[in-house]
């Protein structure tokens, strides 16, 4: 019996790529592949790419260059590029990196087994179509092996919003939602394997329409799975925060009090130029309603600094919005033009100005994040323990607010959900001890 082939997948970017990488691994298991510990030990390397951030394409080419010695030493080694850079670059990847054997877009990874057979026969494989068939219908049934207590589950892909700065509609396609029945079935399979918390994923997840009551209806149905203890979702668009979804934060105990709701800017002028389809005031009114439904909710946001045309007054509007809303977590970036997007054709803001504004914004956001963590000291939170910590005997988990929490060994086991009294706040995590009563 021949030894199994070994597969190494490196994922970049969002949680959806983490989920996609899991499904790609499962698809290639049918061709005899098992996971490799590292690229050095692999018979096939896949780079599952993201095209959102600046210079994403060049970073992938640089990474491919580092695999050249491996390819030279192992001529039978197969290398593939998947995901959004693959979709955007297509056959150009073969031109720039001839050692690449396979280029596969994010909607075609269900075809990996047949593409793998093609490259094993000595041909190259390119598939960046948007196939009519649903890839989820053609993926193998998920393994029954045990797994960790948390999991991502993609329920929606693509985006129809066409924000002026974003490549997602071009690399992931139009919005598509998976039928609720299939999502629930996959969730049940994950729970049977030991999963206690599921995060529902989508490029615009709250535009989900695979249930008659949208994402809220899906959440309510998933909440009926006995051993599923926690539900989260990301990433959302303000325009799709329905009344029913807001009410779910109050009515569904398993829906965690954490929401990532990007606003990008506090300036109405910039928001209009971005084609965000909401104003700053509309965003703030949505936040008010969510906090009425769940007063303890922790908010997270995305911010872009230095979008073309942004003035100092526009930036001050962003700072004012951040001050008013208050964020427990956040992600902030300097604007970088993405080829093919409308904003890429606009005259940009000076880099030095963008740098200075980003530093000011991040200083404010860091203060808010630290304040949110410090407010947990002395409180008892519910922690799902996920893995051993770095220190001997330590266990690490996440609170309902998505804060990382460390406790000393012997207090908890992986997969347990226990009350933890928070004793101290570090820069990016909390220290606690399991509450005894």
| pLDDT for residue 437 | 60
Q: Which two tokens stand for residue 21?
A: 């990488």
Average pLDDT over residues 60-74: 91
Answer yes or no: is 138 within a domain.
no
Residues 180 and 212 in one domain: yes
* Percent of the chain whose predicted confidence (pLDDT) is above 70: 95
Tens digit of each residue's pLDDT (9 = 90 or more) over 325-336: 999 999 999 999
Of 374, 390, 423, which residue constitutes the final position of a domain? 374
More confident residue, 238 or 89: 238
The pLDDT value recorded for residue 50 is 83
Same domain? 57 vs 164 = no
* 353 within domain boundaries: yes
Please tell me the predicted confidence (pLDDT) of residue 54. 62
Same domain for 212 and 169?
A: yes
What CA–CA distances, in Å, run from 90 to 105, 122, 137? Answer: 8, 19, 24
Residue 412 lies in a domain: yes
* Reported confidence tier of residue 135, pLDDT bands at 50, 70, 90: low
Average of per-residue pLDDT across 139-164: 86
- pLDDT-based confidence at residue 2 (cuts at 50, 70, 90): low
Q: 236-239 long-range CB contacts below 8 Å, 24 or more apart?
A: 236/204, 236/205, 236/206, 236/260, 236/261, 236/262, 237/161, 237/204, 237/206, 237/207, 237/262, 238/262, 238/263, 238/276, 238/278, 238/282, 238/283, 238/286, 239/161, 239/277, 239/278
How far apart (Å, rounded) are the C-alpha atoms in residues 173 and 169? 5
Any domain includes 135: no
Which CATH number do you get for residue 119?
3.40.50.12160
Q: Read off the pLDDT of each residue in 387-393 and give the average, rounded to a whole number.
A: 86
pLDDT number for residue 427: 86
Q: Is residue 352 part of a domain?
A: yes
Provide the mean pLDDT of the chain. Answer: 92
**Band of residue 104 on the pLDDT scale cut at 50, 70, 90:** very high
| Per-residue pLDDT at 318 exceeds 70 | yes
Question: At 229, is the pLDDT very low, low, confident or very high (cuts 50, 70, 90)?
Answer: very high
Helix, strand, coil share of the chain (percent; to 5): 40, 20, 40
- Is the model more confident about 437 or about 395? 395
Mean pLDDT of all residues in 370-379? 97
264 and 390 fall within a common domain: no
pLDDT of residue 131: 63
For residues 385 and 404, give the distance between their C-alpha atoms in angstroms, rounded to a whole number.
Answer: 10
* pLDDT at 141 exceeding the cut of 80: no
Tell me: do 155 and 289 sit in the same domain: yes
Domain match, 163 and 123 both: no
- The confidence score (pLDDT) of residue 110 equals 85
* 87 and 152 housed in the same domain: no
Q: Considering its fold, how many domains does the chain have in total?
A: 3
- Residue 341 falls within a domain, yes or no? yes
Average pLDDT of the segment spanning 73-90: 90
14 vs 120, more confident: 120
Q: What is the pLDDT of residues 261-301, one digit of tens each?
A: 999 999 999 999 999 999 999 999 999 999 999 999 999 99
Confidence of residue 171 (pLDDT cuts 50, 70, 90): confident
Q: Which band of pLDDT confidence, cut at 50, 70 and 90, is reported for residue 433?
A: very high
287 in the same domain as 361: yes
133 in any annotated domain: no
- Averaged over 214-229, what is the pLDDT? 98
In this model, does residue 133 exceed pLDDT 60? no
- Structural domain of 85: 5-127
The CATH number of residue 413's host domain is 2.40.50.140
The pTM score is 0.86
79 with 67: CB under 8 angstroms?
Answer: yes
Instruction: Work out the pLDDT band at 16, boundaries 50, 70, 90.
Output: confident
Rounded to an integer, the average pLDDT of 391-418 is 92
* Whether the predicted pLDDT of 83 surpasses 70: yes
Q: What is the pLDDT of residue 410?
A: 79
Supply the pLDDT for residue 147.
Answer: 86
Q: List CB contacts of 361: < 8 A, sequence separation 6 or more.
A: 303, 305, 315, 318, 319, 322, 332
Q: Are residues 215 and 296 in the same domain?
A: yes
Give the mean pLDDT of 307-317: 98
Regarding whether 407 and 272 lie in a shared domain, the answer is no
Phi/psi-derived region of residue 373, left when phi > 0, alpha when psi is between -120 and 50, beta in every other case: alpha
pLDDT at 53: 66
pLDDT digits (tens, 9 = 90+) for 189-206: 999 999 999 999 999 999
Is 420 found in the same domain as 347?
Answer: no
Q: For tokens 């001839």, what's the residue?
A: 98
* Closest alpha carbon to 318 in 297, 333, 299, 303: 303
Q: Is residue 231 part of a domain?
A: yes
Cα dihedral 80/82/85/91 (nearest 10): 50
Residues 393 and 304 both lie in one domain? no
Could you say which of 127, 156, 172 is where a domain stops? Answer: 127
Q: What is the pLDDT of residue 434?
A: 95
Q: Find the CATH number of the domain harbouring 214.
A: 3.80.30.20
């Amino acid at each position: 019996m021949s030894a199994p082939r070994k597969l190494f997948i490196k994922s970049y970017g969002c949680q959806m790529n983490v989920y996609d990488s899991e499904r790609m691994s499962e698809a290639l298991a049918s061709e005899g592949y098992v996971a490799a510990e590292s690229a050095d030990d692999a018979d096939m390397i896949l780079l599952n790419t993201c095209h959102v951030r600046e210079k994403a394409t060049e970073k992938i080419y640089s990474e491919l260059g580092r695999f050249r010695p491996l390819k030279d030493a192992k001529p039978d080694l197969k290398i593939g590029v998947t995901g959004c850079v693959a979709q955007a670059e297509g056959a150009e990847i073969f031109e720039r990196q001839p050692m690449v054997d396979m280029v596969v877009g994010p909607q075609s990874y269900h075809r990996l087994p047949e593409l793998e057979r093609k490259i094993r026969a000595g041909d190259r494989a390119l598939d960046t179509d948007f196939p009519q068939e649903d890839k989820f219908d053609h993926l193998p049934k998920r393994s029954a092996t045990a797994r960790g207590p948390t999991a991502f589950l993609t329920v929606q892909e693509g985006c129809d919003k066409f924000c002026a700065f974003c490549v997602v509609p071009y690399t992931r396609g139009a919005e598509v939602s998976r039928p609720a029945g299939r999502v629930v079935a996959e969730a049940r399979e994950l729970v049977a394997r030991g999963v206690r918390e599921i995060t529902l994923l989508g490029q615009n997840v709250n535009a989900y329409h695979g249930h008659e009551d949208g994402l809220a209806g899906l959440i309510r149905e998933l909440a009926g799975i006995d051993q599923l203890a926690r539900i989260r979702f990301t990433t959302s668009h303000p325009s799709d925060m329905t009344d029913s979804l807001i009410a779910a934060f109050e009515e569904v105990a398993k829906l965690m009090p954490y929401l990532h709701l990007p606003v990008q800017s506090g300036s109405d002028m910039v928001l209009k130029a971005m084609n965000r389809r909401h104003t700053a005031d509309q965003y703030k009114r949505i936040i008010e309603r969510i906090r009425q439904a769940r007063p303890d909710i922790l908010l997270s946001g995305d911010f872009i600094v230095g979008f073309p045309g942004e003035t100092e007054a526009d930036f001050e509007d962003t700072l004012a919005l951040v001050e008013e809303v208050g964020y427990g977590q956040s992600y902030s970036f300097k604007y970088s033009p993405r080829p093919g997007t409308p904003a890429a054709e606009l005259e940009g803001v000076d880099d030095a100005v963008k740098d200075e504004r980003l530093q000011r914004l991040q200083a404010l956001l860091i203060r808010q994040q630290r304040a949110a963590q410090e407010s947990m000291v002395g409180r008892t939170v519910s922690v799902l323990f996920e893995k051993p910590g770095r220190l001997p005997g330590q266990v690490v988990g996440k609170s309902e607010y998505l804060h990382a929490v460390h406790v000393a060994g012997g207090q908890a086991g992986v997969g347990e959900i226990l009350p933890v009294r928070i004793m101290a706040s570090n820069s990016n995590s909390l220290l606690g001890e399991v509450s005894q009563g």
